[in-house]
């Protein structure tokens, strides 16, 4: 009985889902409303860099609410409404309170785990606890989890009130110092406005102020149509551009358009879907068992095509982040997860073509998709915002070489971790096959790649530490756990080399040693939060990560027990 293959002329059916992923949901090139599109393209300054108002709005909504959108409205519309009608929004429960104990302090004023900025700033007992925590932080004393969460809630309330007061963002740069603080709406009514404002043309400034007030009024009045809002937005933009032209300053509109395109492309979200789709085709190819006629194995080659598309989209997203920020995008957990996912996807390709085992591509697609889904699904914990570098990271050479090398090793280890699960499961619950032996060899190769990169990255990190901090090694928690992770994998490789571990043992080692990577990568930054690597510190996700780790360890323990029982039965 011969296997039937799909005619080449029908292959377009397989690519139809690819088009759906790339072009939906949403429009990559335009916003929903004309006025929102106009406002979103205006350059503003906030957080130490110049960005489109659309980017500022996206970051503001995420920071205040912990969500990427509020009430299913575009971020530009949401933030402008906060600015135009602050008295309405400061009394609304926008700020999410994550800590249970902090929630109890607000009592009945908490609505669906959210509280208003008005309540946060006026609750005397809460404000006193925040001030005490800030005082301890200034003295460099350790803060409790609840103190950190109180400060977060308080700072978000302050941010929202500053928006309403016109203190954010900056709209007009100083003529002689464009990198300084830009002029804000609040500077118009300030008792002592910045001295450099006196050099700006008064007539144009008054026109800008008036157009901003008219735009805000047009937005507040529910009777105004979208056409009226669009007209007010155009007048506001024209008045601002007139002031800009009189200052002699110019903004690279192409850079702003590039950032807007990046925002709307959702490269990593769409990339995760493509990886999953490629994994599905790889699985179909594996089940159909058509590798005997590789040139006619359409599911495999379609899967490789989609996989290549996912990688290209992944790379495009990274290129855009690099071109926008002017640096390697690996300075926070969000960026490192996205980078590790890309490394996993790339390392799998040569291993697959070397061993010709489709399961390698299935697991690579799943691990890469998982990484991107985690990065995109928890924006409140994994902040996707592009932020300026802290001073210690401004040596781009060492940042690029050291950090990229270390995190690339995590990609190889993540691939070994994923493949290790297949091998452990296969040896524990199924019969040993040539495919399992081949996958165990793939685990071994992935670990070898990772060890070389991690060792090189650790040494380069010492060089960077000597350059930045004046010492090569200081047993900082980050350095210590990187060394522990490296030693863990070296034990696995050494055990395989001298015959301690067979295929099952090296797969078990790949899964268990990855716990050291999790600690060096996540634990030091989000749990310990100690040491000189404070630029990477964050918070949140502890319970979720702990649960996943415990489930993984339980799986490994159960598989080891079943494997041991099977071996005893064979004897």
- The answer to whether residue 274 scores a pLDDT higher than 80 is yes
pLDDT value for 15: 57
Are the C-beta atoms of 480 and 489 separated by less than 8 Å? Answer: no
Determine if residue 92 is left, alpha or beta; phi over 0 gives left, psi from -120 to 50 gives alpha, anything else beta: beta
d(CA 59, CA 52): 11
Give the pLDDT band (50/70/90) at residue 6: very low
pLDDT value for 32: 57
pLDDT value for 506: 95
The DSSP letter of residue 88 is: H
pLDDT value for 530: 62
Pair of tokens at residue 208: 């800008």
Residues 465-491 pLDDT 10s: 777 667 777 788 888 899 999 999 999
pLDDT value for 8: 45
Are the C-beta atoms of 172 and 240 separated by less than 8 Å? Answer: yes
Give the pLDDT band (50/70/90) at residue 3: very low
pLDDT value for 202: 85
pLDDT value for 177: 76
- The answer to whether residue 298 scores a pLDDT higher than 90 is no
For the whole model, what pTM was predicted?
0.89
Once rounded to an integer, what is the mean pLDDT over residues 248-272?
A: 91
pLDDT value for 526: 80
Residues 418-465 pLDDT 10s: 999 999 999 998 888 888 999 999 999 999 999 999 999 988 888 877
d(CA 377, CA 374): 5
Question: Cα–Cα distances in Å, from 533 out to 15, 396, 477, 521?
Answer: 45, 16, 9, 11
Residues 308-336 pLDDT 10s: 999 999 999 999 999 998 887 777 889 99
Once rounded to an integer, what is the mean pLDDT over residues 80-89?
A: 93
Q: What secondary structure does DSSP assign to 124-167, as a single string?
A: HHHHHHHHHHHHHHHTT----HHHHHHHHHHHHHHHHHHHHTT-
Bigger pLDDT: 230 vs 349: 349
d(CA 274, CA 369): 8
pLDDT value for 1: 39
Give the pLDDT band (50/70/90) at residue 5: very low
Strand, helix or coil for residue 216: helix
d(CA 11, CA 298): 8
pLDDT value for 535: 54
Residues 342-377 pLDDT 10s: 999 999 999 999 999 999 999 999 999 999 999 999
For 557, other C-beta atoms within 10 Å of its C-beta total 10
Does an H or E element contain 93, and which?
strand 93-96
d(CA 234, CA 36): 10
| Burial environment of residue 533 by CB neighbours within 10 A (0 to 12, 13 to 18, 19 or more) | middle
- The answer to whether residue 413 scores a pLDDT higher than 50 is yes
pLDDT value for 461: 83
Give the pLDDT band (50/70/90) at residue 296: low
Q: Which of 22-26, 89-93, 186-190 has the highest mean pLDDT?
A: 89-93
d(CA 424, CA 494): 19
pLDDT value for 2: 44
Give the pLDDT band (50/70/90) at residue 9: very low
């Amino acid at each position: 009985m011969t296997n039937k293959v799909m005619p080449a002329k029908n292959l377009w059916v397989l690519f139809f889902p690819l088009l759906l992923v790339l072009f939906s949901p949403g429009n990559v090139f335009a916003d929903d409303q004309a006025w929102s599109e106009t406002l979103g393209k205006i350059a503003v300054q906030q957080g130490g860099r110049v960005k489109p108002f659309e980017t500022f709005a996206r970051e503001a909504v995420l920071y205040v609410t912990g969500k990427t959108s509020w009430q299913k409205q575009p971020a530009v519309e949401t933030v402008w409404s906060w600015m135009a009608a602050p008295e309405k929004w400061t009394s609304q429960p926008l700020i999410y309170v994550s800590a249970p104990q902090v929630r109890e302090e607000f009592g009945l004023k908490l609505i669906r785990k959210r509280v208003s900025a008005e309540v946060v700033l006026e609750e005397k007992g809460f404000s006193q606890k925040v001030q005490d925590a800030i005082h301890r932080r200034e003295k460099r004393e350790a803060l409790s989890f609840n103190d950190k969460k109180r400060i977060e809630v308080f700072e978000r309330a302050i941010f929202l009130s500053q928006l309403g007061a016109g203190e954010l963002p900056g709209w007009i740069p100083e003529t002689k110092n464009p990198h300084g603080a830009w002029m804000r709406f609040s500077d118009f009514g300030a008792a002592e406005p910045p001295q450099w404002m006196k050099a700006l043309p008064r007539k144009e400034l008054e026109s800008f102020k008036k157009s901003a007030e008219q735009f805000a009024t047009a937005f507040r009045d529910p009777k105004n149509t979208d056409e009226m809002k669009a007209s007010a937005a155009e007048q506001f933009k024209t008045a601002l551009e007139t002031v800009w032209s009189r200052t002699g300053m110019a903004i690279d509109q192409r850079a702003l358009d590039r950032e807007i395109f990046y925002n709307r492309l959702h490269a990593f979200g769409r990339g995760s879907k493509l990886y999953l789709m490629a994994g599905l085709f790889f699985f179909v190819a594996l089940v159909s068992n058509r590798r005997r006629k590789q040139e006619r194995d359409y599911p495999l080659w379609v899967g490789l095509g989609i996989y290549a598309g996912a990688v290209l989209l992944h790379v495009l997203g990274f290129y855009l982040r690099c071109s926008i920020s002017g640096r390697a995008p690996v300075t926070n957990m969000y960026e490192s997860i996205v980078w590790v996912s890309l490394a996993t996807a790339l390392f799998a390709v040569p291993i697959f073509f070397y061993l010709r085992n489709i399961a390698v591509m299935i697991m690579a697609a799943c691990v890469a998709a998982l990484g991107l889904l985690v990065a995109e699904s928890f924006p409140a914990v994994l902040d996707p915002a592009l932020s300026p570098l802290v001073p210690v990271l401004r040596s781009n050479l060492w940042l690029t070489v050291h950090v990229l090398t270390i995190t690339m090793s995590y990609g190889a280890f993540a691939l070994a971790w994923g493949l290790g699960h297949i091998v452990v499961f296969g040896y524990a619950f199924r019969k040993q096959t040539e495919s399992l032996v081949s996958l165990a060899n793939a685990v071994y190769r992935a670990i070898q790649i990772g060890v070389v990169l991690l060792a090189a990255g650790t040494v380069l990190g010492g060089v960077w530490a000597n350059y930045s901090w004046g010492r090569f090694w200081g047993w900082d928690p980050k350095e210590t756990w990187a060394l522990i992770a490296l030693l863990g994998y070296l034990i696995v490789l050494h055990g395989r080399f001298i015959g301690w571990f067979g295929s099952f043992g090296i797969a078990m080692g790949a899964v268990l040693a990855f716990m050291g990577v999790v600690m060096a990568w996540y634990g030091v930054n989000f749990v310990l939060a100690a040491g000189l690597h404070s630029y990477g510190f964050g918070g949140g996700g502890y319970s979720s990560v702990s649960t996943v780790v415990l489930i993984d360890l339980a799986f490994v323990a159960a598989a080891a027990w079943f494997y041991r029982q099977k071996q005893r039965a064979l004897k």
